Amino acid sequence: MSSPSFLRPARAVTPMAFVRAIVKGYERYGQDPSEALKVAQITPRELARPGARVTAAQFEALSGHAMQELDDEALGWFSRRLPWGSYGMLCRASLTSPDLGVAIKRWCRHHRLLTEDIGLALEVAGGVATLRIGENRPLDPAFREFCLVTSLRFMHGYMCWAIDSRISLRQAGFPFPAPAHRDAYAAMFTPEVRFDAARASIAFDERYLALPLQRDERALPLTILQYRRDRLLGQRVRELLRSRAAETTTAEALATLLNVSSRTLHRQLQEEGSSLQALKNEVRHELAVDLLRRTHRPIKQVALAAGFRNEKSFSRAFLQWTGLAPRDFRQQAATPAPGTPRTRDLPP
C-alpha cells in the first residue's frame, strides 16, 4: 500500500506540519531525512517556514520514501514499527469480503495485530456509519495529529478504492484543538469538521456498507486519492430533491449541499447514465402522483408543489409520464377495485 496522497491538486496545500512530523520520525530512529526531503524537493528553508505548504505529489514522494527507508509505515507514531507492507497485508486480508461493511470490520479487527496503541471500530446508527479511533495509550504529541489524520485517511482511501467509488463524508471529528492549518481539513475530509471531539472519527452514509467490493489483488498497490465517481450519488440527489426542494432549485445549490462542483455533479450523473433533469422529473412525478392520489388539492396547487410554474406545463409533463391527464389520473385512482375498502384522504 502506497503512501497517502492527502490532497490531489498540484498547488501547495498540504500542511508543512505533516512534513515536520515525518522528520520527527527520522529523529526517533536516529536517521537522516535529507535524502527523503531531497526526493520530495523540500528545502530546509521551506521546512522551517511557518505556514508553509507542499503539493500532494511532494508529500507522497516524501512519505513513500520515508516508509521504506525507516521500514515503518507508521513513521514513528506507535510503540513498535509497522514494517513496509503492513497496510498492504490489511488490504489483502479484506479483499475477499462480500461487501464494504464486512471489509471494514475485518480491517478494524486485523489492525490490532499490527498495534494495540490505537483501536479502530465501526458503529452504525440512524442510517449513518461512523469509523472511530480509540487511543489505548497516550500518543506522542509530536505525532498525535499526524497519526490520527493519516490513520483515517488510510482507511477512507481504502474504502473508496475497494468499492471504486467516492465516499462522501458527512462529518469528521478530531480530539484536539483546531490547528493553524485547519483549512486543509475541509479538503482532506469534509467541510463539516469538529475539533475538540471525544475521538477521531469519520461519518458517512450507511448504504455504502452494502456495496460489493470491486477490486482484487491485481489492482494492488493502491494510491489513496480523491475518487471522482460516487456510486450513491443518484440516490443522494433524489433524497435532497425530495427533502430540501426549496434549497435545490438550481444545480449550483444542489452541488453545494453535496460538496462538489456543479460541473462534477453533471459529469458524474452522466457517467451513471442519468442527468439532473431526469432525476428532477422522477421526483416531481412521484410527488405529483402522491398528491393526486392522497389529497383533494386543486391541480394548480399540485403543479406548484411539484415544482412546475403553471398548470399547463405540469399537465403536459404528467401526460408524458403516465399517458393520462392529471384529472383523469385522479379520477381513476379514486375509483377502488370491487371489494377494496376506501381509505380516508389526507387533508390538502
The count of residues in the chain is 348
Which parts of the chain have pLDDT scores under 70? 1-11, 216-232, 335-348
Helix (H) or strand (E) holding 210: none
Question: What's the farthest any 2 CA atoms get from each other in the chain?
Answer: 86
119-150 pLDDT tens trace: 999 999 999 999 999 999 999 999 999 999 99
Pairing of strands 128-135, 169-174: unpaired
Cell numbers 511557518: residue: 50
Whether the CB-CB separation of 9 and 186 falls below 8 Å is answered with no
Provide the pLDDT for residue 7: 44
Provide the pLDDT for residue 338: 53
Pairing of strands 169-174, 193-195: parallel
Cα gap 113→299, rounded to integer Å:
64
Cell numbers 450523473: residue: 269
Provide the pLDDT for residue 305: 86
For 18-77, strand residue ranges (E) read: 53-54
Provide the pLDDT for residue 173: 97
Provide the pLDDT for residue 231: 64
Q: pTM above 0.75?
A: no
The 8-class DSSP code of residue 246 comes to G
Cα gap 231→182, rounded to integer Å:
29
Provide the pLDDT for residue 275: 87
How many other β-carbons are positioned within 10 Å of the β-carbon of residue 264? 17
